[in-house]
């Protein structure tokens, strides 16, 4: 008789938590897998990883992980993370945030954590809308997209979150999508090993809400194809004109540099004598 | 020399000082073992952040000035979960923002100390207008613990008490300061280290396999597990089982909030502190809290000189309200006076407890200025 194989990443999942609550075809499950693969490849001490989620679909990823975790307040992930990281710098703090959580209600904390170069990793799952609440417009929703609160199309310009992070002072920033597991896992590994504020934005399909309202399809594959067809690698994008890049998602690594990490506003310098 | 010891020597400034109220808060926090502070500029609480930014690094602690009050409260919560004794300070308008975090800290049972230096809306005049916000500010079910100092000395003493209560009951504790005492310099006596009582956080002795993060006896807080040691604790605002995981169970929800509120409700007699003056022969009693205690006591002296037997109950713990004691007093006196510096808020609580037994007179002043003893005495005479 064939012995039933268990997923090698199963050991990282909290006991008794599965099945998860994500919709069929949602990208959050993929992101969870990519993260655990990165952790497993790097052989990180899982005990020393603290995962944090605010509120939203993505924010629920930590509740399935067998780590010390915080969850349940919208947008405050980086404030929690600062307290934990400054008091116990040897812990590795990873934040899972949706676009609404990170750059709408949590936008201010995001800018300042990046500015300070707080030594944490942010995994942003960008599905272009507020999904858990039923598909409302988000700061990342593309211009003219129909959502539950923009029935005539969104009239707001979306954020380029990676650009925002680079401007604010983040020291590792990349963008990939759920259709590209290898690049995404590689990038998460780099982010986890990076000393300083690291952001990996993962464009992800939300068939239930963004798909149905903005793209008129609830088929996960079609939503994913829409993302992948609009995606273009940074090296290729450099050769295109501004018009050619209209409505394109540029994938790649936008910054990877080192600068002093944040240890508290008031640093105590030992007197030399 | 041992690095830790070198730091610790600078922690407690034993001796007699002439000290600003806001500075007394800082020294009290340090004496209690505070090693993490996050704040955001706001008058009249700024001196707390300013001194913390200098003093905390001296004792090996961490100071952060955040981007807003939400940062302050949540980073304090994060640090506390990581094992720190953490505190933030703000004034009324900033306290509004912190309510969200107080709700989270109550639901996930995170010890932390919040100092609110009350001020009038937008202006830095004296008031006690936040007294109900201390109790009811956050959404959801919870019990608040709130202490009301009336002097710089008490700002020092009650900040230590606040840390001890926070750790013992795993609950946020609020020190309700006021412009009056925060910006006043007074005599503050800081005792020797040996004379300061500190409540140490209780950590579990169980292994990660045996440990359930929110399993506790009825009406008591659970034991902590250290962060980053394999106990994989989930701290969620949502309803959580004894093992900390998200779920929905109507009976479980009821039980969880019975315990979270019960751990304070059932320990009221232990938590609630007060002081009595001239109570032995009193036939009417002033109930006051915070800086209003001072003119009230002076007014009693005037009354006593005129032969009026007025007594005084000074509330140290404003929340939870000391129900049994106040009811007992109401049964034995002819009238209760509720003195406060707002439109008359806490008096409603006092009426709730006293009205079946004796009449209650509200003595309020809502002008950004503390009562004078003459004003309080005049109000007493008019009612008697």
Write down the ipTM of this complex: 0.95
Q: Is the pLDDT of residue B103 over 90?
A: yes
**In a domain? residue A118:** yes
Q: Delineate the domains of chain B, giving CATH numbers in brackets.
A: 3-195 (3.40.50.970), 273-383 (3.40.50.920)
Q: Is the pLDDT of residue B2 over 70?
A: no
Judged by average pLDDT, the poorest of A20-24, A123-127, A194-198, A269-273 is A269-273
Q: What is the structure's pLDDT at A272?
A: 40
Q: Is the pLDDT of residue B143 over 70?
A: yes
Element (H, E) at A140: none
| Interface list for A 153-192 with B (CB within 8 A) | none
Judged by average pLDDT, the poorest of A56-60, B44-48, B56-60, B143-147 is B56-60
Q: Do B232 and A67 touch (CB under 8 A)?
A: yes
Q: Is the pLDDT of residue B301 over 90?
A: yes
| Number of domains forming the structure of chain A | 1
**In a domain? residue A80:** yes
Q: What is the structure's pLDDT at B6?
A: 66
Domain residue limits at A220: 22-240+249-256
| Confidence tier at A273 by pLDDT (50, 70, 90) | very low
What b/e readout covers A232-268, taking b as 16+ CB neighbours within 10 angstroms?
beeeebeeeeeeeeeeebbbbbbeeeeeebbbbbbeb
**Among A207, A240, A243, A241, CA closest to A225:** A207
Q: Is the pLDDT of residue B283 over 60?
A: yes
DSSP state of A67: S
Using CA coordinates, name the residue in chain B closest to A49.
Answer: B228
Nearest by CB: A264 against B62, B81, B230: B62
Q: Is the pLDDT of residue A271 over 90?
A: no
> What's the rounded Cα separation, in Å, for the pair A164 and A96?
18
Element (H, E) at A172: strand A172-177
Instruction: Show the tokens assigned to B313.
Output: 């109950």
Nearest by CB: A264 against B54, B63, B237: B63
Pairing verdict, β B284-289 and B310-315: parallel
Q: Do B53 and A265 touch (CB under 8 A)?
A: yes
Q: What is the structure's pLDDT at B4?
A: 62
Q: What average pLDDT does the segment A166-172 reach?
A: 98
Residue A82 contacts residue B64 (beta carbons within 8 Å):
yes
**In a domain? residue A269:** no
**In a domain? residue A266:** no
Q: What average pLDDT does the segment B234-258 reach?
A: 93
Burial of residue B347 (number of CB atoms within 10 Å: 0-12, 13-18, 19+): buried
| Confidence tier at A1 by pLDDT (50, 70, 90) | low
| Confidence tier at A266 by pLDDT (50, 70, 90) | confident
Q: Do A112 and B53 touch (CB under 8 A)?
A: no
**In a domain? residue A49:** yes
| Confidence tier at A135 by pLDDT (50, 70, 90) | very high
A33 touches chain B (CB under 8 A): no
pLDDT digits (tens, 9 = 90+) for B315-327: 999 999 999 999 9
> What's the rounded Cα separation, in Å, for the pair A270 and B1?
14
Nearest by CB: A68 against B62, B79, B233: B233
| Confidence tier at B307 by pLDDT (50, 70, 90) | very high
Burial of residue A15 (number of CB atoms within 10 Å: 0-12, 13-18, 19+): exposed
> What's the rounded Cα separation, in Å, for the pair A195 and A207?
35
Q: Where are the beta strands (DSSP E) in chain B?
A: 15-20, 36-39, 62-65, 86-91, 112-118, 145-147, 172-178, 185-190, 234-236, 274-277, 284-289, 310-315, 317-319, 335-340, 360-364
Q: Is the pLDDT of residue A116 over 80?
A: yes
Total-model pTM: 0.96
Q: What average pLDDT does the segment A5-11 reach?
A: 90
> What's the rounded Cα separation, in Å, for the pair B33 and B86?
9
A111 touches chain B (CB under 8 A): yes
Domain of A57, CATH number, reads 3.40.50.970
**In a domain? residue A123:** yes
**In a domain? residue A126:** yes
Q: What is the structure's pLDDT at A236?
A: 92
* End-to-end CA separation in angstroms for chain A: 73
Q: What average pLDDT does the segment A30-44 reach?
A: 98
**In a domain? residue A268:** no
Longest dimension (CA), chain A: 73
Nearest by CB: B235 against A70, A90, A267: A70
Element (H, E) at A191: helix A181-193
Distances (CA, A) of B212 to A264, B107, B243: 33, 16, 5
Using CA coordinates, name the residue in chain B closest to A76.
Answer: B74
């Amino acid at each position: 008789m064939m012995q039933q194989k268990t997923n090698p990443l199963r050991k990282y999942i909290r006991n008794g938590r599965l099945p998860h609550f994500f919709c069929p075809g949602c990208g959050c499950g993929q992101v969870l897998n990519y993260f655990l693969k990165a952790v497993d490849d790097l052989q990180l001490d899982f005990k020393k990883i603290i995962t944090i989620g605010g509120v939203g679909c993505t924010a629920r990823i930590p509740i399935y992980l067998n780590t010390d975790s915080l969850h349940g307040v919208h947008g405050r992930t980086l404030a929690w993370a600062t307290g934990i990281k400054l008091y116990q710098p040897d812990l590795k703090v990873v934040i899972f945030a949706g676009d609404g959580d990170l750059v709408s209600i949590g936008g201010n904390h995001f800018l300042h954590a990046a500015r300070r170069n707080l030594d944490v990793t942010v995994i942003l799952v960008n599905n272009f809308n507020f999904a858990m609440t039923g598909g409302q417009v988000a700061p990342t929703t593309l211009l003219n997209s129909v959502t539950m609160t923009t029935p005539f199309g969104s009239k707001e310009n979306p954020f380029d979150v990676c650009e925002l992070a680079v401007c604010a002072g983040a020291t590792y920033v990349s963008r990939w999508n759920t259709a590209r597991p290898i690049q995404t896992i590689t990038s998460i590994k780099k982010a986890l090993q990076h000393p300083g504020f690291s952001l990996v934005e993962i464009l992800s399909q939300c068939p239930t809400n963004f798909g149905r309202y903005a793209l008129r399809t609830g088929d996960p594959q079609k939503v994913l194809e829409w993302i992948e067809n609009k995606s273009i690698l940074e090296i290729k994008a450099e050769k295109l004109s501004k018009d050619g890049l209209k409505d394109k998602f540029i994938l790649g690594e936008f910054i990877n540099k080192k600068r002093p990490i944040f240890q508290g506003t008031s640093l105590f310098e030992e007197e030399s004598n | 020399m041992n690095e830790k010891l070198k730091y610790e020597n600078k922690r407690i400034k034993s001796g007699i000082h002439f000290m600003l109220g806001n500075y007394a808060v800082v020294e009290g926090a340090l004496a209690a073992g505070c090693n993490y502070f996050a704040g955001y500029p706001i008058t009249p609480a700024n001196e707390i952040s300013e001194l913390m930014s200098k003093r905390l690094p001296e004792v090996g602690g961490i100071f952060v000035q955040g981007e807003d009050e939400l940062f302050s409260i949540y980073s304090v919560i994060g640090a506390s979960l990581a094992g720190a004794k953490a505190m933030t300070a703000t004034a009324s308008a900033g306290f509004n923002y912190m309510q969200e975090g107080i709700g989270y800290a109550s639901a996930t049972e995170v010890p932390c100390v919040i100092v609110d230096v009350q001020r009038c809306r937008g202006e830095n005049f004296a008031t006690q207008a936040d007294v109900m916000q201390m109790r009811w500010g956050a959404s959801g079910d919870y019990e608040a613990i709130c202490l009301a100092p009336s002097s710089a000395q008490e700002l020092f003493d009650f900040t230590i008490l606040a840390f001890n209560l926070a750790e013992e009951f795993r609950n946020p504790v609020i020190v309700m300061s006021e412009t009056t005492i925060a910006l006043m310099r007074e005599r503050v006596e800081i005792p020797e280290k040996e004379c300061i009582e500190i409540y140490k956080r209780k950590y579990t002795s169980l292994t990660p396999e045996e440990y359930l993060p929110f399993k506790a006896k009825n009406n008591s807080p659970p034991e902590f597990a250290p962060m980053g040691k394999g106990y994989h604790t989930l701290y969620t605002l949502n309803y959580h089982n004894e093992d900390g995981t998200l779920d929905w169970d109507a009976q479980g929800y009821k039980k969880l909030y019975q315990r979270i509120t019960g751990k304070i409700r059932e320990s009221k007699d232990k938590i609630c502190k007060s002081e009595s003056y001239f109570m032995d022969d009193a036939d009417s009693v002033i109930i006051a809290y915070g800086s209003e205690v001072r003119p009230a006591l002076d007014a009693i002296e005037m009354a006593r000189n005129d032969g009026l037997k007025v007594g005084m109950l000074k509330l140290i713990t404003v929340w939870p309200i000391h129900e049994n004691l106040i009811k007992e007093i109401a049964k034995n006196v002819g009238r209760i006076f509720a003195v406060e510096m707002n439109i008359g808020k806490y008096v409603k609580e006092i009426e709730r407890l006293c009205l079946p037994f004796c009449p209650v007179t509200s003595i309020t002043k809502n002008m950004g200025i503390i009562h004078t003893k003459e004003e309080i005495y005049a109000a007493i005479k008019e009612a008697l």
